[in-house]
């Protein structure tokens, strides 16, 4: 008689066999959620992080305020004043000659007075930008139209304004000397500047070449 086989062990399954698996899944999800939250918090901190917050403060370099074309206000003012002196010198001479050439009326006084008015008016805002006196240029700009007014062929021919021309020649001389003194003051303020090693005339000639004039 053959021996009896041992009885198979009875396997007892839990009433809800999938619950442990669900528990593992829930726990995994919770860990992933917590990890995602931690990652987001680190990202938030990084977004608010700036290298400059951890660096020693530095002083910004001082940059000289120059127009976009590279010519400083000081150089521009010197350029204007040089032209103003030249125009004043011309009108001073022509007024002293009664606004005539070889005894014949000309338009020289009025023509140069217009140049004077133009340069004087242009100079006002340039001088103001570097805190220089502007009243003298306004005075010159206000005076020049008077010369334009009295320089007509009829008035010159009449002889009525001969004394006025001589008097206004003296006024032009005073303005010229004042402007020349202001040029000298500008040069003294920066005796070591490279551009001031040149004369004003050579400075202007170089500027004309650079501009293709």
The structure tokens listed for 100 are 């005539």
3-state secondary structure 65-101: CCCCCCCCHHHHHHHHHHHHHHHHHHHHHHHHCCCEE
Measured distance CA(181)–CA(22) in Å, rounded: 98
Q: What does pTM read for this prediction?
A: 0.59
Structural domain spans, the chain: 73-184
The three-class DSSP label of residue 59 is coil
pLDDT tens column, 35-71: 666 666 655 555 554 444 444 444 444 434 555 467 8
pLDDT tens column, 118-168: 999 999 999 999 999 999 999 999 999 999 999 999 999 999 999 999 999
pLDDT tens column, 12-29: 655 566 566 566 667 766
């Amino acid at each position: 008689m053959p021996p009896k086989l041992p009885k198979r062990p009875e396997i007892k399954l839990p009433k809800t066999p999938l619950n442990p698996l669900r528990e593992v899944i829930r726990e995994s999800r919770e860990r992933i959620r917590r990890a995602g939250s931690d990652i987001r918090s680190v990202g938030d901190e990084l977004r608010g992080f700036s290298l400059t917050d951890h660096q020693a403060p530095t002083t910004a370099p001082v940059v000289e305020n120059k127009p976009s074309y590279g010519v400083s206000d000081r150089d521009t003012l010197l350029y204007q004043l040089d032209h103003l002196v030249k125009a004043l010198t011309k009108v001073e001479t022509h007024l002293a000659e009664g606004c005539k050439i070889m005894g014949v009326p000309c338009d020289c006084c009025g023509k140069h007075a217009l140049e004077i008015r133009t340069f004087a008016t242009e100079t006002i805002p340039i001088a103001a930008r570097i805190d220089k006196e502007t009243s003298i240029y306004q005075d010159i700009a206000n005076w020049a139209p008077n010369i334009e007014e009295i320089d007509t062929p009829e008035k010159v021919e009449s002889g009525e304004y001969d004394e006025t021309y001589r008097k206004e020649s003296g006024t032009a001389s005073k303005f010229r000397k004042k402007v020349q003194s202001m040029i000298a003051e500008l040069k003294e303020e920066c005796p070591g500047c490279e551009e001031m090693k040149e004369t004003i005339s050579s400075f202007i000639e170089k500027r004309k070449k650079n501009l293709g004039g």
